[in-house]
Amino acid sequence: MPHFFENRYILVIAILSTIAGGDGWEDMENYGISKQQWLQKFLDLPNGIPSDDTFRRVFEKVDPKVLEQKLTEGVKQLIGPVVQQVIPIDGKSIRGSYDRKTGEKNLHLVTAWASENRLVLGQVKVENHSNEITAIPALLELIDVTGAIITMDAMGTQTEIVRLIRQKKADCVVTLKKNHPTLYKQVKTWFETARANQFGGIEVSEDSRREKAHTSSNRN
């Protein structure tokens, strides 16, 4: 029964199991059993490792928003300031999260990733890919990106999103496609004019990489 165990210890084992690649209640129990000797160095486990049913019952009573908030605060304390760090923000559908019995769609998350620390800074669940436009501002409000460099794909190339990033004292690199025809034309014209003038008076750097059968290049 859950009351035999400290719920906080159950959460610790569950989180460590997830970090190690576990994806279910049985994995949490198996992880605890396999790491019991190590876990007992910092967790009081007089009743041993909780069963998979105990993990499930505890998480049924946990408010996911509160847990997410506490984890985000913990990560913030762990990594400290993110000044000059590159933080990609991207949306992904979680494979295997579709439930055929209930008809529930794949879980889609928008995630901010601290590349230097290799840790997730924050996540926001969305209903589908198109809702990333509203999810990105919500995610930015959850985390401190002061001094960081935010990168996003074309979905995040929105005036309000870029304005919010600047308000939070961060820089950004966004992807520009033809779905923003006016801005695309302005940027294209600027580069054509600058190239015709051999970038006179403009400080530039160029990077070119070949990946498999295509070449990608960037000019700053």
Q: Please give the CATH superfamily to which domain 84-174 belongs.
A: Ribonuclease H-like superfamily/Ribonuclease H (3.30.420.10)
Q: Are strands 119-126 and 108-114 parallel, antiparallel or unpaired?
A: antiparallel
Q: What's the pLDDT score for residue 104?
A: 57
Question: In which order are the strands placed within the sheet that holds 149-152?
Answer: 119-126, 108-114, 86-93, 149-152, 171-174
Residues of the chain below pLDDT 50: 1-4, 97, 214-216
Residue 87 is encoded by which pair of tokens? 């933080």
**Nearest-CA neighbor of 146 among 121, 120, 176?**
121
- Helix spans in the chain (H): 7-19, 25-34, 36-39, 52-60, 64-79, 132-142, 159-167, 181-196
Q: What's the pLDDT score for residue 171?
A: 95
Q: What's the pLDDT score for residue 95?
A: 58
8 A C-beta contact, residue 106 and residue 98: yes
8 A C-beta contact, residue 153 and residue 139: no
Burial of 150 (0-12, 13-18, 19+ CB in 10 A): buried
Q: What's the pLDDT score for residue 1?
A: 38
Domain ranges within the chain, ordered by starting residue: 2-62, 84-174, 181-219
8 A C-beta contact, residue 49 and residue 29: yes
3-state secondary structure at position 40:
coil
The residue written with tokens 């165990």 in the block is 5
CA–CA–CA angle 100, 104, 109 (5° rounding) = 125
